[in-house]
Amino acid sequence: MYAIHVQTDQPDRPLVWQETSDPTYGPDDVLVDVHATALNRADLLQCAGNYAPPPGAPDILGLEMAGVIAAVGSHVRTWQVGDRVCALLGGGGYAERVAVHHSQLIPIPSTWSFEEAAALPEVYLTAFVNLFMEARLQPGEVALVHGGASGVGTAAIQMLHHLGHRTIATAGSDEKVAACRALGADLAINYRSEDFVEAVRAFTKDQGVDVILDMVGASYFERNFELLKVRGRLVFIATLGGSQISLDIGKLMRKRARLIGSVLRPRTLEEKQEIKDVFMSRCWPLIQRGLIRPVIDTVLPISEANAAQARMANNENIGKIVLRVR
């Protein structure tokens, strides 16, 4: 088969589509012919040599994919050759074929393309686990989502809106702000032209928010903490604005706040299956009704993976950047 490989011997570490060994699959796995995969920030980090795959995961890029089952392991009973599926991966999505444990598979809705399905697993499961399982968002609570026009952000806004939560989002341009509003954000703030703290205070009548989903990190910490209600929860899912903070523990105690650090990729298969199952129970009816659907920014052929990653690195995308494999 062919797969994307990072040319680590060159200064700019370009991505090259080249022949490689077919993946092996075990009795609990299925082998999938990949039709599409999608970009995530973790791909950029791995390309730069700053994010090694977890033990046992392929070193090929790609944390999600959509395709058709080509073969099933001897222990697999609930899936068969020919089924259209998508899945969260530990790696291996930028390739023609990938082996996936059967517990990670998600069926593709009949009206969805492979490109749409490839944009589902990573960002929807990331947003869901952090808002509803880690932060335990409750009915009537208000959430603030930073990076609202990103893949995770667009997924979060849709789920929050259709599950009945007042939602605030930040984004870096008026176009992205409009996209957040169209997806259901009750308030969307252009952080380049507005003070998001003042905007949130005005919108909530100085009450603040219950949960913040943050991918910025250190540079937003003080402002985020200021906006948390008593017993509020701040969930860190990335550190684009730095990872080192100074914390006044007394303030944390008085606010009875929770600071939550979270990752998805290194979790066990059992943890990921639980996340998928809870997501399916709460959100699959919304998907089937067409209320939740991935936001696709761009679809490019796998041969243009370098251009796709440059678009993400420059923060040009609204929603997901997808790579078509076949």
Would the pLDDT of 12 be above 90?
no
Q: How confident is the model at residue 11 (pLDDT cuts 50, 70, 90)?
A: confident
**pLDDT tens profile 258-315:** 999 999 999 999 999 999 999 999 999 999 999 999 999 999 999 999 999 999 999 9
Q: Name the CA radius of gyration of the chain, rounded.
A: 20
Predicted pLDDT of residue 10: 84
Range of the domain at 162: 123-261
Residues 201/142, Cβ–Cβ less than 8 Å: no
Per DSSP, 219 falls in state G
Per DSSP, 131 falls in state I
Is residue 134 domain-shared with residue 241, that is, in the same domain?
yes
Distance CA 322, CA 32 (A): 18
Is residue 99 domain-shared with residue 52, that is, in the same domain?
yes
Domain boundary among 261, 286, 306: 261
Tell me if 289 is assigned to some domain.
no
**pLDDT tens profile 116-133:** 999 999 999 999 999 999
Spell out the residues 6+ positions from residue 21 whose beta carbon is closer than 8 angstroms to its own.
1
Q: How confident is the model at residue 111 (pLDDT cuts 50, 70, 90)?
A: very high
Class of residue 311 by CB neighbours under 10 A (exposed 0-12, middle 13-18, buried 19+): middle
**pLDDT tens profile 227-262:** 999 999 999 999 999 999 999 999 999 999 999 999
Is residue 212 domain-shared with residue 167, that is, in the same domain?
yes
**pLDDT tens profile 122-162:** 999 999 999 999 999 999 999 999 999 999 999 999 999 99
Distance CA 252, CA 266 (A): 28
Predicted pLDDT of residue 171: 98
Residues 173/180, Cβ–Cβ less than 8 Å: no
Per DSSP, 294 falls in state P
In this prediction the pTM is 0.96
Tell me if 41 is assigned to some domain.
yes
Query: Pick from 117, 139, 155, 170: which is nearest to 292 by CA?
Result: 155
Q: How confident is the model at residue 34 (pLDDT cuts 50, 70, 90)?
A: very high
Is residue 33 domain-shared with residue 149, that is, in the same domain?
no
